[in-house]
């Protein structure tokens, strides 16, 4: 069978993925082996695969496949998140196209649409993950809104409520006027935004509600809220304004009388020193309002439009109103001036709408105790962050955490299990039946139809924080005393979590809290934080910028293995990834290299009569040792999550050591067969290399592993043991490095002198060669004749170089440029002299000799001796040349 000269992933990948699925290779059940567990960061059910997922899930898959080959019972649990705001807004948009709004339909109808939509569009991302080769245990696929998962969430709510951790209260919350819901502090992104600073005249009232001719200037970025002002505040220490004490001012345009108050919150040096206090529309003003007992006038509705209480501009959107009121204020003479201004403005992470601080009744979870536990989990080292710099960020947050606003004014999600009695009292129970029983204790006359369930649903993260528990056992969350089921006892705690740092608080911290609370154990030991994938010029990849390639296109163009490698090559933990398609090309090229090396080996005929040549014997011996040496460092890299390093070492081992050196040495002459001994070693090496590469490149390695020989039905490389580090002799490795130096030196001479590789050379050696060196040099550098000599005859006709301390001379009669040689040798001499001087300076320093460890001093002495020897060589060569 003739293999094509280029590897074609498209014919290979689907075949093997189907094979893996057919044989149930990804599925795990508890058994006597050591478990290795990863839960996927559940992507949004409506999401599609982007480069961030590719990075994240490739790492997840590499870790899973490596653990599997290490003999562990590996289980990677996949699933999706219902993502309440994101999904609901997609459904709302879909309905809008049909001319339907949420107001037109009931909650039940809406949810029906939502579920239909989820069935049709959801889980697409999970199918895409298969294209990447993800070895998820698909039988365990979970969705955060599966009925049993929802049950766990509700139980958790009831548990924390009864524990006294969940309360309901009126608070200033972050209102998202586009999503029409409150969002948590963590879902608000502050961005510096260009705005205007309006300086407004507030006239002093004459006491009868009429303006006097005196006024003060108040600076604000939100003139549309002046109708909601409850006071103007000055700092009590601000002498400029003491004359205002006890006075009242009039709100421009509506002439409403409001008091001057004094509060030290106001900064004397900022703005004009006069602050309009608008308790309904600003968090700080709300606090001031509480201190001074100010009335609250809420003039903005849920959609961000001015309401009746505004008295003017009723029904206008807040930003339109801002522009219009500026004109009105100018016309009325209340506008002193307008300045350009940049201020931080909060945006909703999901909808990008400007957040409106708004008073409303919401449910909160107390964070104080939970965050203390979660901080201790990390500080004690029971949970490690990779890289560990994120501990600082984490600590900072955990020490300054606010109660978690867990209610959302949405329909898509877990509905809060609070049931209201007609009198407004409420009970919290997991089911309506239990709620009724509890309600009857308050008021025996209550019937089921009197109970009204809370309209709100829970924050999405209130379900995903249970993920590492609930994917295995949906009964345990909310029931810390329950006996965990078989799966949970076996798989929990999971081992590693791979995720992006931007959800460290949203998700990672809260999973730790839930784990501590319900399991008494952290949900994972290591958190590997990947960077953000950016484009070449450093911009975050985003849909709106259009700079994010579709991973599926890349897979069909280059193959999944190439995409995986391309992403990993440039990704050290915690650093952002600068994505460039050329990295994937490099991955594709590597696939091709592996493919072609196999074609070479496959093409060899074994000649049973042929005995192993010396050069092959040394190559085999060397590669055995080299392989173990590299494997050892690869294992260390994996253990420290240095995946790109592990990959790079593997890449170089295969490309440079195996292909460029090893195969070139043992390659039989054209038309001749290969000896059995060398062939067997070569095949064994190749198989070990495939195993080593498999976690990062699952498809091509499976393909070639099967192509090597016919395997038993149902066998797979993915369950082959990862190669084990054997004892190796670093002397053999360093000897070979010297051999490489000599080969490189001769090749360099050929290059300089423009000599064809086909033209055999001879060499004269002054000094010693490592064992087995010459046969290798002879083959790779095409050296036909070797001679050992302390004296080199005709100095003018040789080109020389030094490998280690051995001098190599290549006789090239008629081709040697005398002056060039002299110059080259003088350069080398110069360099060695400088080097020697620096080493001698060190050795002459008695402090160094006295203080430095013996080994270090010994090393310097060796450097000195080598330098002396090289200088000696150069000088004798110069002498020979000058004699000419």
Partner RNA sequence: GGGAGCAUAGCUCAGCUGGUUUAGAGCAUCUGCCCUACAAGCAGAGGGUCGGGGGUCCGAAUCCCUCUACUCCCACCA
Q: Which of residues 328-367 bind RNA (CB under 7 A)?
A: 343-344
Cβ closest to RNA, residue 297 vs residue 586? 586
Pairing of strands 457-458, 533-534: unpaired
Q: What is the DSSP string of 353-407?
A: PBPEEEEEEEEEE--HHHHHHHHHHHHTTSSEEESTTHHHHHHHHHHTPPPEE-E
By the rule CB under 7 A, 11 interacts with RNA: no
Give the separation between CA 237 and CA 363, rounded to whole angstroms. 39
Which residue from 207, 295, 714, 757 is in contact with RNA, where contact means CB under 7 A? 757
**For residue 568, what is the enclosing H or E element?**
helix 560-569
Cβ closest to RNA, residue 371 vs residue 586? 586
- CB neighbour burial string for 755-771, b if at least 16 within 10 angstroms, e if fewer: beeeeebebbbbeebbe
Burial class of 736 by CB neighbour count within 10 A (0 to 12, 13 to 18, 19+): buried
For residues 459-478, which are near RNA according to CB under 7 A?
none
Pairing of strands 783-788, 761-766: parallel
User: Quick check: 471 and 138 in contact, CB under 8 A?
Assistant: no
By the rule CB under 7 A, 232 interacts with RNA: no
User: Quick check: 204 and 255 in contact, CB under 8 A?
Assistant: no
**115 Cβ neighbours under 8 A, 6+ residues apart:** none
Whether residue 387 has a cis bond before it, omega within 30° of 0: yes
Scanning 202-210, 296-304, 435-443, 588-596 for contacts with RNA by CB under 7 A, the matching segment is 588-596
By the rule CB under 7 A, 815 interacts with RNA: no
| CA–CA distances in Å: residue 626 to residues 93, 121, 464, 658, 743 | 60, 51, 46, 10, 18
Least Å distance, CB 29 to RNA, is 38
User: Quick check: 39 and 77 in contact, CB under 8 A?
Assistant: yes
First to last CA, the chain: 61
How many residues make contact with RNA (CB under 7 A)?
92
Least Å distance, CB 117 to RNA, is 31
Least Å distance, CB 841 to RNA, is 9
By the rule CB under 7 A, 838 interacts with RNA: yes
Binding characters for RNA, 166-185, by CB under 7 A (x = yes): -------------------x
Least Å distance, CB 589 to RNA, is 3
For residues 716-755, which are near RNA according to CB under 7 A?
743-744, 747-748, 750-751, 754
Scanning 467-475, 485-493, 580-588, 702-710 for contacts with RNA by CB under 7 A, the matching segment is 580-588
Give the separation between CA 197 and CA 199, rounded to whole angstroms. 6
Which residue from 149, 219, 232, 769 is in contact with RNA, where contact means CB under 7 A? 219
Which residue from 18, 483, 600, 611 is in contact with RNA, where contact means CB under 7 A? 600
Cβ closest to RNA, residue 46 vs residue 832? 832
Least Å distance, CB 542 to RNA, is 13
Least Å distance, CB 568 to RNA, is 11
- Beta partners for residue 76, in sequence order: 38
Other C-beta atoms lying within 10 Å of the C-beta of residue 232: 23
Cβ closest to RNA, residue 521 vs residue 672? 672
By the rule CB under 7 A, 556 interacts with RNA: no
Binding characters for RNA, 274-293, by CB under 7 A (x = yes): xxx-----xxx---------
Cβ closest to RNA, residue 652 vs residue 711? 652
Give the separation between CA 265 and CA 64, rounded to whole angstroms. 54
User: Quick check: 750 and 757 in contact, CB under 8 A?
Assistant: yes
Q: Helix, strand, or coil here: 731? A: helix
Least Å distance, CB 640 to RNA, is 8
Least Å distance, CB 839 to RNA, is 8
CA dihedral (50, 55, 58, 64) positive or negative: negative
By the rule CB under 7 A, 884 interacts with RNA: no
Which residue from 834, 861, 879, 884 is in contact with RNA, where contact means CB under 7 A? 834
By the rule CB under 7 A, 264 interacts with RNA: no
Least Å distance, CB 840 to RNA, is 11
User: Quick check: 176 and 409 in contact, CB under 8 A?
Assistant: no
By the rule CB under 7 A, 616 interacts with RNA: no
Q: Which two tokens stand for residue 292?
A: 């001074």
- Rg, the chain, Cα only: 37
Scanning 17-25, 321-329, 441-449, 572-580 for contacts with RNA by CB under 7 A, the matching segment is 572-580
Which residue from 257, 262, 317, 664 is in contact with RNA, where contact means CB under 7 A? 664
By the rule CB under 7 A, 848 interacts with RNA: yes
Least Å distance, CB 20 to RNA, is 24
For residues 99-158, which are near RNA according to CB under 7 A?
none
Scanning 70-78, 412-420, 783-791, 837-845 for contacts with RNA by CB under 7 A, the matching segment is 837-845
By the rule CB under 7 A, 267 interacts with RNA: yes
By the rule CB under 7 A, 403 interacts with RNA: no
Scanning 121-129, 472-480, 648-656, 788-796 for contacts with RNA by CB under 7 A, the matching segment is 648-656
């Amino acid at each position: 069978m003739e293999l094509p000269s280029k590897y074609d992933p498209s014919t290979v990948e689907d075949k093997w993925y189907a094979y893996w699925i057919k044989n149930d290779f990804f599925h795990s059940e508890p058994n006597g082996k050591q478990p290795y567990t990863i839960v996927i960061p559940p992507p949004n059910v409506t999401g599609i695969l982007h480069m961030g997922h590719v990075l994240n899930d490739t790492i997840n898959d590499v870790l899973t496949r490596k653990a599997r080959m290490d003999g562990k019972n590996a289980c990677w649990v996949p699933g999706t998140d219902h993502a309440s705001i994101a999904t609901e807004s997609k459904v709302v948009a879909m309905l809008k196209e049909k001319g339907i709004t949420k107001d037109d339909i009931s909650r039940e109808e809406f949810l029906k649409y939502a579920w239909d939509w989820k069935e049709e569009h959801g889980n697409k991302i999970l199918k895409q993950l298969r294209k990447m080769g993800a070895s998820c245990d698909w039988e365990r696929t979970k969705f955060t809104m599966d009925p049993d998962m929802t049950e766990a969430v509700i139980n958790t709510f009831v548990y924390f409520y009864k524990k006294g951790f969940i309360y309901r209260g009126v608070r200033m919350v972050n209102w998202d006027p586009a999503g029409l819901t409150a969002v948590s502090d963590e879902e608000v992104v502050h961005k510096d935004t260009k705005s205007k600073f309006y300086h407004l005249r507030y006239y002093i009232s004459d006491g009868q509600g009429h303006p006097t001719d005196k006024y003060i200037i108040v600076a604000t970025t939100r003139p549309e809220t002046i109708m909601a002002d409850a006071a103007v505040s000055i700092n009590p220490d601000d002498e400029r304004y003491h004359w205002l004490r006890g006075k009242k001012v009039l709100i421009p345009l509506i002439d409403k009388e409001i008091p001057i108050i004094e509060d030290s919150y106001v900064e004397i040096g900022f703005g004009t020193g006069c602050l309009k206090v608008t308790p309904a529309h600003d968090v700080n003003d709300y606090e001031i309002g509480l201190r001074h007992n100010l009335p609250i006038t809420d003039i903005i509705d849920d959609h961000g439009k001015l309401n009746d209480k505004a008295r003017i501009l009723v029904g206008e959107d807040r930003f339109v109103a801002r522009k219009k009121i500026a004109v009105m204020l100018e016309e009325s003479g209340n506008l002193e001036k307008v300045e350009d201004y940049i201020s931080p403005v909060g945006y909703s992470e999901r909808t990008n709408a400007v957040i409106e601080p708004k008073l409303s009744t919401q449910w909160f979870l107390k964070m104080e105790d939970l965050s203390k536990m979660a901080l201790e989990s990390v500080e004690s080292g029971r949970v490690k962050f990779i890289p560990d710099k994120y501990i600082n960020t984490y600590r900072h947050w955990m020490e300054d955490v606010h109660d978690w606003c867990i209610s959302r004014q949405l329909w898509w999600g877990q509905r809060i299990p609070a049931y209201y009695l007609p009198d407004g009292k409420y009970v919290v129970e997991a089911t309506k039946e239990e709620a009724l029983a509890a309600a009857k204790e308050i008021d025996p006359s209550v019937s089921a139809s009197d109970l009204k369930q809370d309209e709100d649903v829970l924050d999405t993260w209130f379900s995903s924080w249970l993920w590492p528990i609930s994917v295995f056992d949906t009964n345990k969350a909310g029931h810390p005393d329950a006996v965990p089921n078989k799966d949970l006892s076996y798989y929990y705690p999971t081992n590693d979590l791979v995720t992006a740092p931007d959800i460290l608080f949203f998700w990672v911290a809260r999973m730790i809290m839930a784990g501590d609370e319900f399991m008494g154990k952290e949900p994972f030991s290591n958190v590997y934080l990947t960077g953000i994938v950016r484009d070449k010029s450093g911009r975050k990849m985003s849909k709106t910028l259009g700079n994010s390639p579709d991973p599926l296109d890349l897979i069909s163009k280059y193959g999944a293995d190439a995409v995986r490698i391309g992403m990993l090559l440039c990704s050290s933990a915690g650093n952002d990834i600068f994505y460039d398609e050329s990295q994937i090309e490099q991955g594709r090229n590597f696939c091709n290299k592996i493919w072609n090396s196999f074609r070479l080996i496959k093409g060899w005929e074994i000649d049973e009569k042929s005995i192993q040549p010396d050069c092959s014997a040394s190559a085999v011996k060397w590669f055995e040792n080299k392989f173990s040496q590299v494997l050892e460092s690869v294992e260390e890299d994996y253990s420290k999550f240095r995946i790109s390093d592990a990959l790079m070492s593997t890449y170089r081992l295969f490309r440079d050591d195996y292909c460029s050196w090893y195969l070139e040495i043992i390659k039989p002459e054209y038309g001749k067969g290969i000896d059995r001994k060398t062939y067997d070693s070569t095949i064994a090496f190749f198989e070990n290399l495939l195993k080593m590469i498999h976690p990062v490149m699952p498809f091509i390695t499976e393909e070639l592993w099967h192509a090597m020989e016919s395997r038993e039905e149902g066998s797979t490389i993915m369950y082959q043991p990862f190669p084990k580090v054997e004892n190796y002799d670093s002397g053999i490795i360093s000897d070979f490095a010297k051999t490489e130096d000599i080969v490189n030196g001769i090749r360099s001479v050929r290059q300089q002198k423009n000599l064809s590789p086909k033209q055999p050379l001879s060499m004269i050696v002054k000094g010693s060669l490592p064992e087995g060196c010459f046969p290798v040099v002879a083959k790779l550098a095409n050296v036909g004749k070797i001679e050992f000599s302390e004296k080199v005859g005709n100095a003018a006709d040789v080109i020389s170089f030094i490998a280690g301390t051995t001098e190599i001379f290549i006789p090239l009669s008629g081709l040697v440029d005398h002056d060039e040689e002299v110059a080259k040798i003088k350069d080398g001499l110069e360099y060695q002299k400088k080097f020697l001087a620096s080493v001698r300076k060190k050795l002459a320093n008695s402090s160094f000799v006295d203080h430095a460890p013996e080994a270090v001093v010994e090393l310097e002495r060796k450097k000195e001796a080598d330098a002396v020897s090289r200088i000696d060589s150069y000088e004798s060569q110069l002498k020979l040349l000058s004699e000419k």
